[in-house]
Amino acid sequence: MAFPTFVPTSRSFESGDYPVKTFKAQNGAEHRILYGSNRTNMKLSLSYANITDAKAEQFLDHFDEVQGTFQTFHISEELRGGWEGSKDALGAGTHGNRYRYEQAPQMTQVRPGVSTVTVNLIGVI
């Protein structure tokens, strides 16, 4: 089962960073060492407001399928609906990353049969 393909109602994205380690001398001079060529640790937060419980359940099922925060997976183009920039800008694959759950999906029951789900993903190499 793939990650659900609904268009979210809100989305936030942190681009992550390259693996850089910074050393600071006592005189204030800074030295940085680049440990890799791929940006990583990008965070994608998706919120699905007022969706049916059946749709909400798909996130819970998928979370089980990938064994929670253990396995990684690809996300589909639909998740980037409304974004008019380059599709790979919000993705993880360009930099050799795949997404995994940063934490379990958070579900809030709004009324009978309707829920709001928030999913937090993190890109890892």
Partner 1 sequence: MSSSFYTGRHGSLLLEGVKVAQVQNWTLNTSVSLLSTKTLGETDDQFIVDSRNTSGSCRVLYYADGANSAGRFISKVIKARDGDNQNAPLFQGDDVAGEEERSDLRLKVDDGSADGRYIQMRVFITNITLTMAVGEIFAADISFQSHGAPNLVNL
**Nearer residue to partner 1 within complex by CB, 43 or 55:** 55
Phi, psi values for residue 59, rounded to 5°: -70, -40
Sign (positive/negative) of CA torsion 2, 64, 79, 50?
Answer: positive
Verify binding: residue 12, partner 1, rule CB under 8 A.
no
Site string for partner 1, 18-57 (x = CB under 8 A): -------------------------------xxx------
Residue 117's contacts (CB-CB under 8 Å, 6 or more residues apart) are 47, 48, 51, 55, 56, 59, 105, 106, 107, 108
Verify binding: residue 118, partner 1, rule CB under 8 A.
no
Amino acid at 93: G
Q: How far is the CB of 63 from partner 1 (least distance, A)?
A: 21
Q: How far is the CB of 73 from partner 1 (least distance, A)?
A: 21
List residues near partner 1 by CB under 8 A. Answer: 6-11, 49-51, 81-83, 110-111, 114
